[in-house]
């Protein structure tokens, strides 16, 4: 009996056509990322000048680039990096976004200072701030994750704060206060669990933004350093040859699109099922 | 109204102050010595020392901060290393380009986004609705640089209709501006069209269910008046709040779009500053662009108050 609400939610999700489509699209990318070491036989950085600019064929499923590197290997390893970065940014947001949002929404004294800092960070255009941070720290995977976390945590914190502001006034919270529960316990057992639905919805969209922004940064030359393949830097390198070898930019571009669309559909579905109040906010 | 403006201005001041602190602090976070990074690998210690002195990095942090804020008060954001020009003027020179491009993209976004959203809401659950929402989903999922590359392949190289890049100012040749700006503006607009169409659809659906819309219909008003005068006018209020976000997204998007289409705007200026380690330019440009966006949002807030009298009497 106790697991029936969870089961009911899952059943409703699986009946949601868009959610299932999104899940399927995202799973394609997740499977590629997870199996990268086993489904690629060629080193993604291995040069082979004789095999350069090969269009997709039986030998090279996705073709080769200007240096004869296998695009199958490169995009699959790129998928792995995108997923790793997405997961890292989502986890950092889940932890710090919840922390900042919960403290700000729950303790009145903390609200104004924390939200002013939040407002200032959100005032920067997302990509410009991310570029500024990676420029200062130097281009690397870790720094991209850090930059994306700094850019997106304020946005997550806002959403958590909004739910906590409402939950704080609930009768069961007042009852817990009256029963002598401490702030930490109230937050942990009564407030945060009830703020999870909008957070989960936000995190699925955030995963999409993180993957997209990472690709943009590495397209501009500010992501992981080549020869490490990322979808963004594969496209940046392929840009010079996009007329003769359009597959170099098209394959990672389409995979990027599949990932982002899958996560957006997933987020829409989660929002419809978990948090119907939010449906009107599109 | 004046009171509200003052209130919002007062709210913007701490944000701007913190934005300036972040911009200042960012350059001080550079690990190691930025002067060495700027000077490059082949620089002699003397050259590095010279750059350090030029940037004021040999001074204590407090002196640097005082210098930075002293300059800010006089509208002096420092000097760009790459361009040898003041940061303020190099940004101001490129501002009209980015503004023209953003305005073009914003106009496309508003017309197509609101149009598609309203149409989808009026034909809810028909193929029109589904097609519009599918295109909107595609819009928010296609990376704008990928779309830009595809546009170049199709329309510039394949069909030869438009130039692959470059920029002609509107004042030099309106037709040339239109030709050079259309692909970048459309690829910038698509994400925002998707967002706006989705939001417009859901607010319209809500508004169409309201009693006053039913009343308007019941008293026999023609459909276009019910939709235009009663429903859309009220739906515009939440839609306006999104415009501030859209402007910020357009500026973000212009970074990569301008680089892709070689348009000499602020996005390209800052990208090349970042790649060329022109830290004063990055610091000052970031502050200036963000301050302008804060002002845009202030304007959107005021517009919101004009559209919705309830806001004006709040508190």
Tell me: do B26 and B168 sit in the same domain: no
At residue A86, the pLDDT reads 93
| B81: in domain | no
- CA A206/CA A263 separation, integer angstroms: 9
Residues of A in Cβ contact (< 8 Å) with B145: 216, 219, 235
Tell me: do B120 and B57 sit in the same domain: no
| Pairwise CB contact (< 8 Å): B18 & A253 | no
Residues of B in Cβ contact (< 8 Å) with A132: 23, 26, 274, 282, 286
| B101: in domain | yes
Interface A-B, measured as beta-carbon pairs within 8 A, has a size of 135
Q: Distance from B225 to chain A by nearest Cα, in Å?
A: 24
Tell me: do B101 and B37 sit in the same domain: no
Q: Distance from B89 to chain A by nearest Cα, in Å?
A: 19
Q: Find how far residue A138's CA is from the centre of its chain.
A: 21
Boundary (domain end) residue, out of B13, B38, B73: B73
Residues of B in Cβ contact (< 8 Å) with A261: 137-138, 141
Q: Distance from B189 to chain A by nearest Cα, in Å?
A: 16
- CATH number of the domain encompassing residue B255: 1.10.3720.10
Residues of A in Cβ contact (< 8 Å) with B22: 120-121, 124
Q: Please give the residue of chain A at the shortest CA–CA distance from B197.
A: A282
| Pairwise CB contact (< 8 Å): B141 & A260 | yes
Residues of B in Cβ contact (< 8 Å) with A124: 19, 22, 286, 290
User: For chain B, what is the domain count?
Assistant: 2
Q: Domain range holding B40?
A: 2-73
| Pairwise CB contact (< 8 Å): B149 & A239 | yes
Percent of chain A with pLDDT over 90: 28
pLDDT in tens, A125-148: 888 889 888 888 888 889 899 999
- CA B163/CA B183 separation, integer angstroms: 9
Tell me: do B189 and B245 sit in the same domain: yes
pLDDT in tens, A41-68: 777 777 777 777 777 776 667 777 777 6
The tokens for A275 are 């948090």
Tell me: do B95 and B239 sit in the same domain: yes
Beta-bridge partners for A70: A64
At residue B97, the pLDDT reads 92
Tell me: do B61 and B120 sit in the same domain: no
At residue A103, the pLDDT reads 92
Tell me: do B68 and B93 sit in the same domain: no
| Pairwise CB contact (< 8 Å): B282 & A132 | yes
Tell me: do B6 and B105 sit in the same domain: no
Tell me: do B98 and B31 sit in the same domain: no
Boundary (domain end) residue, out of B43, B73, B103: B73
- CA B204/CA B199 separation, integer angstroms: 8
Tell me which residue in B26, B256, B275 faces A133 most closely, judged by beta carbons: B26
| Pairwise CB contact (< 8 Å): B146 & A281 | no
At residue B315, the pLDDT reads 45
Return per-residue pLDDT of chain B as tens, 315 residues: 677 788 888 888 888 888 888 888 887 777 666 677 677 767 777 877 877 777 777 777 788 888 888 888 887 878 887 788 888 888 888 999 999 999 999 999 999 999 999 889 888 888 988 899 989 999 999 988 999 999 888 888 878 788 878 788 878 888 888 888 889 999 999 999 999 998 888 888 888 888 888 888 888 888 778 887 788 888 887 788 788 888 888 888 888 899 888 899 998 898 888 888 788 888 888 888 888 888 888 888 888 777 777 766 654
| Pairwise CB contact (< 8 Å): A124 & B31 | no
Mutate which of A118, A119, A130, A132 to test chain B, going by most B C-beta atoms within 10 A? A132
Contact A63, A73 (CB under 8 A): no
- Average pLDDT, whole number, for chain A? 85
At residue B311, the pLDDT reads 66
Structural element, H or E, at residue B169: none
| B9: in domain | yes
At residue A281, the pLDDT reads 44
Boundary (domain end) residue, out of B73, B100, B126: B73
| B231: in domain | yes
Q: Which residue did the predictor score with more confidence, B66 or A154?
A: A154
- CA B296/CA B303 separation, integer angstroms: 11
Tell me which residue in A119, A136, A220 faces B27 most closely, judged by beta carbons: A136
Query: How many residues are listed for chain B in this entry?
Result: 315
Q: Which residue did the predictor score with more confidence, A280 or A17?
A: A17
Tell me: do B112 and B234 sit in the same domain: yes
Tell me which residue in B18, B202, B282 faces A120 most closely, judged by beta carbons: B18
| Pairwise CB contact (< 8 Å): B203 & A280 | yes
pLDDT in tens, A232-267: 888 888 888 888 888 888 889 999 999 999 999 999
At residue A208, the pLDDT reads 93
What is the pLDDT confidence band of residue A282, given thresholds at 50, 70 and 90? Answer: very low
Residue that the structure tokens 């990318």 belong to:
A29
| B285: in domain | no
| B291: in domain | no
Mutate which of A111, A121, A127, A254 to test chain B, going by most B C-beta atoms within 10 A? A127
- CA B81/CA A165 separation, integer angstroms: 47
pLDDT in tens, A190-240: 888 888 888 988 899 999 999 999 999 999 888 888 788 888 888 888 888
| B283: in domain | no
| Pairwise CB contact (< 8 Å): A235 & B274 | no
Tell me which residue in A135, A243, A265 faces B274 most closely, judged by beta carbons: A135
Residues of A in Cβ contact (< 8 Å) with B102: none
- ipTM of the prediction: 0.83
Q: Read off φ and ψ for residue B173, nearest 5 degrees.
A: -160, 105
Percent of chain A with pLDDT over 70: 95
Q: Read off φ and ψ for residue A230, nearest 5 degrees.
A: -125, 155
At residue A257, the pLDDT reads 93
Residues of B in Cβ contact (< 8 Å) with A243: 153, 157
Contact A260, B141 (CB under 8 A): yes
Query: How many residues are listed for chain A in this entry?
Result: 282
Residues of A in Cβ contact (< 8 Å) with B297: 123
Look at residues B21, B166, B85 and name the one whose alpha carbon lies nearest to residue A121: B21
Look at residues B135, B191, B145 and name the one whose alpha carbon lies nearest to residue A256: B145
- Structural domains for chain A: 5-35+54-274 (1.10.3720.10)
At residue A259, the pLDDT reads 93
Tell me: do B133 and B93 sit in the same domain: yes
At residue A276, the pLDDT reads 64
CA distances from A79 to A27, A30, A38 (A): 12, 8, 14
| B288: in domain | no
Tell me which residue in A120, A128, A250 faces B255 most closely, judged by beta carbons: A128
CA distances from B72 to A189, B20, B24, B65, B78 (A): 48, 9, 11, 10, 9
Q: Please give the residue of chain A at the shortest CA–CA distance from B139.
A: A261
The tokens for B289 are 């662009």
| Predicted TM-score (pTM) of this structure | 0.87
- CA B228/CA B235 separation, integer angstroms: 10
The tokens for B147 are 């779309």
Tell me: do B36 and B168 sit in the same domain: no
């Amino acid at each position: 009996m106790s697991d029936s609400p969870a089961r009911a939610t899952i059943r409703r999700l699986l009946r949601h056509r868009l959610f299932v489509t999104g899940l399927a699209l995202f799973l394609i990318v997740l499977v590629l990322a997870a199996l990268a070491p086993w489904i690629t036989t060629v080193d993604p950085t291995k040069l082979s000048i004789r095999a350069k600019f090969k269009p997709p064929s039986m030998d090279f499923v996705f073709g080769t680039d200007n240096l004869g590197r296998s695009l199958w290997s490169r995009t699959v390893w790129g998928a792995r990096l995108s997923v790793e970065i997405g997961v890292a940014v989502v986890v950092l947001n889940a932890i710090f976004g919840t922390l900042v949002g919960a403290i700000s929404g729950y303790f009145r004294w903390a609200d104004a200072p924390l939200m002013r800092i939040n407002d200032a960070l959100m005032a920067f255009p997302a990509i410009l701030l991310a570029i500024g941070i990676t420029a200062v720290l130097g281009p690397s995977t870790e720094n991209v994750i850090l930059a994306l976390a700094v850019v997106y945590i304020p946005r997550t914190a806002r959403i958590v704060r909004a739910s906590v502001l409402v939950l704080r006034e609930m009768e069961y919270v007042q009852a817990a206060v009256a029963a002598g529960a401490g702030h930490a316990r109230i937050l942990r057992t009564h407030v945060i669990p009830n703020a999870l639905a909008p957070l989960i919805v936000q995190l699925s969209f955030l995963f999409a933004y993180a993957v997209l922004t990472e690709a943009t940064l590495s397209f501009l030359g500010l992501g992981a350093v080549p020869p490490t393949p990322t979808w963004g830097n594969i496209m940046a390198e392929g840009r010079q040859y996009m007329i003769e070898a359009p597959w170099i930019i098209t394959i990672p571009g389409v995979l990027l699109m599949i990932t982002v669309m899958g996560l957006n559909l997933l987020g829409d579905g989660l929002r419809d099922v978990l948090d119907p109040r939010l449906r009107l906010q599109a | 109204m004046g009171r509200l403006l003052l209130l919002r201005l007062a709210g913007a001041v701490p944000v701007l102050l913190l934005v300036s602190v972040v911009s200042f602090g960012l350059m001080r976070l550079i690990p190691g010595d930025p002067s060495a990074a700027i000077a490059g690998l082949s620089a002699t210690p003397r050259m590095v020392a010279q750059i350090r002195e030029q940037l004021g990095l040999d001074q204590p942090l407090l002196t640097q901060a005082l210098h930075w804020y002293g300059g800010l008060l006089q509208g002096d954001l420092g000097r760009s290393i790459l361009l040898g020009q003041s940061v303020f003027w190099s940004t101001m020179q490129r501002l009209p380009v980015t503004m023209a491009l953003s305005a073009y993209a914003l106009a496309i976004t508003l017309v197509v986004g609101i149009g598609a959203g309203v149409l989808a809401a009026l034909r809810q659950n028909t193929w029109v609705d589904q097609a519009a929402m599918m295109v909107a989903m595609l819009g928010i999922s296609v990376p704008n640089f990928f779309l830009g590359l595809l546009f170049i392949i199709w329309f510039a190289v394949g069909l030869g209709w438009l130039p692959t890049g470059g920029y002609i100012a509107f004042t030099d040749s309106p037709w040339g501006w239109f030709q050079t700006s259309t692909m970048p503006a459309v690829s910038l607009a698509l994400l925002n069209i998707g967002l706006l169409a989705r939001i417009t659809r859901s607010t319209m659906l809500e508004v169409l269910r309201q009693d006053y819309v039913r009343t308007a219909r019941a008293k026999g008003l023609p459909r276009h008046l019910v939709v235009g005068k009663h429903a859309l006018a009220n739906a515009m209020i939440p839609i306006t709040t999104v415009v501030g976000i859209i402007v910020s997204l357009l500026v973000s998007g212009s970074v990569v779009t301008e680089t892709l289409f070689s348009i000499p705007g602020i996005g390209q200026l800052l990208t090349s500053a970042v790649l060329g380690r022109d830290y004063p330019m990055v610091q000052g440009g970031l502050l200036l662009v963000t301050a302008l966006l804060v002002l845009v949002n202030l304007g959107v807030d005021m517009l919101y108050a004009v559209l919705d009298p309830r806001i004006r009497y709040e508190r």
